Amino acid sequence: MEPPRSRPDWTWSLIALCAVALIFVAGEIANTFNGHSRYWDFGRYSNGEPFVLVAGEPRSGGAAAEAGIRRDDRFDLREQTFATRWAENAGPSSEPLTLIVRRGERVISIRFLGSTVWDGAIIPKMLYRLVPAIAGLWFLGCALLITTRRASQAEGRWLALTLLCMVPSGVQFLRVVPIADSLLSVAFINSLLPLALLVGLSSQFGVRGIWRSCTQWVAYAAIAVSATVAFLAYYGYMTLRLDPLPLSRGSPSIVLNGATIIIALLAVIWAVTSTPKEARARAGWLLLPLTVSISLAVPIGLLQNYTQSWILYTSTYILSGASMLLGALLVTYALLQRRVVDVGFVVSRTIVVAILSLIVVVAFVLLEWALGTVLADASHATGLFANATLALVLGLSMRYIHSRVDSFVDAVMFRKRHEDERALRAFAKEATFITDSDALFDLSIAKVRAHTNATGAALFVNGDGLYRSVRGFGTVPSEAGENDPAILALKAWHEPLDPHRYETALAGDLALPIVARGHLHGILLFEQRESGEAYAPDEIDALAQFAHGIGSAYDALAGRITESNATVAAISELLDRRFGPLE
């Protein structure tokens, strides 16, 4: 069993990956609008002839048509320059390419410069670039939310890393070094690494049997084979030592990718169906949206190799990006409605970012107003110095401003939550002065009713090999054995846990150990919140302290009872020695 790990160890690593992913998406969006991204303006497909690509119908008025490229022109990769061959993968650059074209018996050299987004057909070109980029940006936002709220949980780390690996799937920015681009494309653009991570995430759920384990390993093997074949295709484009077209555009590639996706999808579905009924919906919402979106996006993208017109060539890529965007929307629904993160946190972070942005904008607007009125005669250099100074001041003070704004929004939006947390922490100290176990149980469950919005809760106490519910409300179980998997985990690690991850009788959303002096005296079990949201980390911390206070109080009461019984036994033994046993 994996020991719990501290949240900060993972949080900052994942945040750093979020920053790297943001560079990819921001670069792609910037390149789209500034005209650095170039377009072929015609589709290419393989007719089965080795090393030969055939031109589809060029876009009317586009760069290909103006360069003189016609439908059914043939391009033998062995006759092309390295830059031209590599442009087949990375897209045309801002430098002209020399295309060697075979038109019937003639061989023609054509100078080709790809079009920008502003050179006609603006909407399809924008969608071609921005739909996948928006999906990547959405995945990035979801990953950042999970990182800040669920990095301490294994499934949260898996899901955040999977989402981050899906960010570059629709991005071509920074694809400049051939070997690095090959590795990047194999891992991300073909969605093989996210697919492998989803299979790994699925292993966290459900009952593992020998056949399910075999299916998962077959899925890993199929993904590894697909990655090897994809890399060999890039190797073929770079060296021409093998024909890359069957491996990247032909039927063998499509069959292999299809089989890989089917096996991976089967492994994920098996994990969902083998999950206990009460946790099946949650597992399904975590696993299936991303798997299904990849299962749709990859085959649709491969259809580009069979399209013979520019509009169909572009449309298939847009549909592939739209499938990813649909997956991003479904993940967002799962995050907000299926108890992965809490909605209140999402809203509060949005407000904090909006206020910080407003402060920055207002500061620069006021500066421009001052330069235009109070300092109307100031030189251009003075204006630049003032803007630079303001930017420096804002940069140095942004951390302080952010903390103050964060504290203000947190106090306004979560006032009731913080009051409840203070009440629970206060009771953790007050409980040690309670002198009766029944009063301890009654007051504890009353505090839970008053200061949480759980639909149900129960307090379990150890006795005769069973943990029995002594107080509770809602539809909670009545008992659990001391060898129950969730109870064994609570005994071993003394950390809050999610019962959905265990085959346990403790049916609920959160289980907290009632511990004192290393002994598990009991369990505090919570059902889901009335809002359906996840329990936030600060709430879990307060409840854990609350449970620890109950454990200390109960341990003290048990010690007093034991000490009292020992005293009575000692007095009885002295009386027996002095006066003899009573008859």
Q: How many CB atoms lie within 10 A of CB 480?
A: 23
Helix (H, G, I), strand (E, B) or coil at 65: helix
Report the distance separating Cα 273 and Cα 290, nearest Å: 17
Q: How far apart are CA 362 and CA 342, in angstroms?
A: 31
What gap in Å lies between CA 253 and CA 576, rounded to an integer?
Answer: 92
538 burial (CB, 10 Å; 0-12 / 13-18 / 19+) is middle
Place of tokens 């010690």: 559
The distance of Cα 349 from the centroid of its chain, to the nearest Å, equals 17
Tens-digit pLDDT profile for the chain (583 aa)?
A: 344 443 445 777 778 888 877 877 777 777 777 777 788 888 888 877 888 888 888 888 888 888 888 888 888 888 888 888 887 777 777 788 888 898 888 888 888 888 888 888 788 888 887 888 888 888 888 788 777 766 666 667 777 888 887 777 656 544 445 555 555 665 556 677 888 888 888 887 777 778 888 888 998 998 888 888 888 888 888 888 888 888 877 777 778 888 888 888 888 888 888 877 766 776 777 778 888 888 887 777 777 777 777 777 788 878 887 888 887 777 777 665 554 455 455 555 556 666 766 676 677 667 666 655 655 565 656 666 666 676 677 667 777 777 777 777 666 666 777 788 888 889 988 888 888 888 888 999 999 988 888 888 999 998 877 888 888 888 878 888 888 888 888 888 888 888 877 888 888 888 999 988 888 888 999 987 776 566 777 788 888 899 998 988 888 887 654 544 445 455 455 545 555 555 5
Is residue 432 classed exposed, middle or buried when 0-12, 13-18 and 19+ CB atoms within 10 A define those classes?
Answer: middle
506 closest CA partner among 489, 531, 519? 489
Q: What is the DSSP secondary structure assignment for residue 6, as one 8-state letter?
A: -
H helices of 274-375, in order, are 277-302, 310-337, 343-372
- Distance CA(181)–CA(226), nearest Å, equals 17
Contact of 348 with 410, CB cutoff 8 Å:
yes
Taking only the tens place, the pLDDT of each residue in 387-419 is 667 667 766 777 777 777 777 766 666 677 778
- Tens digit of each residue's pLDDT (9 = 90 or more) over 119-130: 887 888 888 878
**Sheet order of strands, 519-526 included:** 479-481, 466-473, 457-463, 519-526, 510-516
**Amino acid 460: pLDDT:** 92
Q: Is 517 exposed, middle or buried (0-12, 13-18, 19+ CB in 10 A)?
A: exposed
Per the confidence metrics, is the pTM higher than 0.75? no
Going by C-beta distance under 8 Å and a sequence separation of 6 or more, which residues neighbour residue 382?
371, 375
**CA-to-CA distance for 455 and 527, rounded, in angstroms?**
6
